[in-house]
Structure 1
């Protein structure tokens, strides 16, 4: 029986991988900081239950919802479970002179979890890894040029990476489970910097050509995580859980194409110089350590605390700090989250194993 279930997991995973390109390129609604690194990284705030607690739940077992936040918790999957989520947002960007409102809808995640035996469970899924979507315009005055000469710089970027994963969890002893995921990360990022010089007194738009630096990078490689979870009893009414997840440092292979174009005011290409053609490199994503603690009454209450640390100062893309062509150092991050789950009524089908 478990062989059939495992084959089904792999089959669904391949289907998700085949349809994944359709989920790429979903906009963030102009996120200026997505210009850095590989874009805005998915914080991996878990499934529906974990997101409802503020993105925490590294140590919170549950038999109804899929908790891929900690792969070791997949063991608690009681029945075949499928989940899908869509994220939406509306935000306002403003500076001293302008204001802009943007909205977007993106794929949150797809996940399927299956209990393979009494002590073994698995899952497959698809989720965003990072996303790039920005556009900004900067007007500057040329200090050393003729009076009144201005330069318009337009920065644009789009794309992102997706992650298709397969996870496994196994019970080693009473209350102790281990797990892990292997993921295939893939996608592409396009960035464009256009520079247009507007000398004073020029009234003919046909004379306002632009110089455009285009960069297209395609990434693909595997990433891995290991996890552990332990659950014990405080007394007859309360239980505690401890969880830890370690995401190993990854070097995601990339292929970069860079060109320098000259365009007219309508955006038509007048000339192209190929600067790089299929230049190979990699993005080095630093390791991440996560730890969580949870207390529950095995019925309708759960309180959780999660801590995560990642040394983004070690990030490199094609050997450059902060991303290819950027050179902006990134800071290390520490994320602390506190959340609770108090459902008003505990449905009879929800069970949380004391093991």
Structure 2
């Protein structure tokens, strides 16, 4: 019997690690990932200002796996019903039970010129590109726009603002960091007290926050919005996500047992998940990690039923995923905002929460050295 996990992001690596201990030794387990490293995507903004953080947020997948086979290949196409995927080079991998955890791509919403002129923030390479361009802007003066004020956009804007004020960087007075958001508030899907704290942190660091401003089209050096045309020198886009080319750009909707078909699960950013309460689950690292725990239990039960011969038309009862986030955390330059329950924390207390959460996750996947390095970075 063969179990395959496609993608080693938060969902895929957590799922694989749990399956290593839950599946019988006789069951083959394969993890397919485009690259040898697991990258903490929610921390890549740090590399804009501190390239040295790359080592802390990159984890060698091979070093944290126990018995799963790691295949370093890009997934070109997935057929969830047939239980197979086509890899780069036309190699085909098939499974008895599998999971699609391929993450997402940046959504450009058919906005004319946006894809051609904006830098996404989905990889460490993107962070390096942003850093290089912003360093030049700090020398010559100009305006950097960040499109989308979700948590990713907030973190990028905060990092740019902090970078522009660091000792040793020659900054003309006319360097600007502008954060654009089409909705009325930053962090639009979060509680109002969290939104207020995030906006205050951004504005305290000199970020020009412009909400209720929708981008309509982009050209070289100018963004056309419903409020008029705005000049820019650098444009970073974090305005949303869509499916990967391997899934045809789609993020399939899955119910609370996380199955996209009888034998294939979909979780993390790769899917639109409706939980056990009928509520849509936001795309986030914390949700992906918790989804992986549910998926691991369900796959293990299905494997056990099939191996024991008890699968006589009646499937075992599967766990239902229920979204229950303990809180939310976002960094804003050297500041942090954390919501724990109904309480919003800022300053040192929020930093401590963020450091403990990041280190806790890395420890859970066996990356203890990375955990110590990241905690040190967070508490600087």
Q: Smaller-chain TM-score range?
A: under 0.3
- Pick the structure with more strand per residue: 1
Could you state the TM-score of these two structures normalised by the residue count of structure 1? 0.26
**Normalised TM-score (structure 2):** 0.25
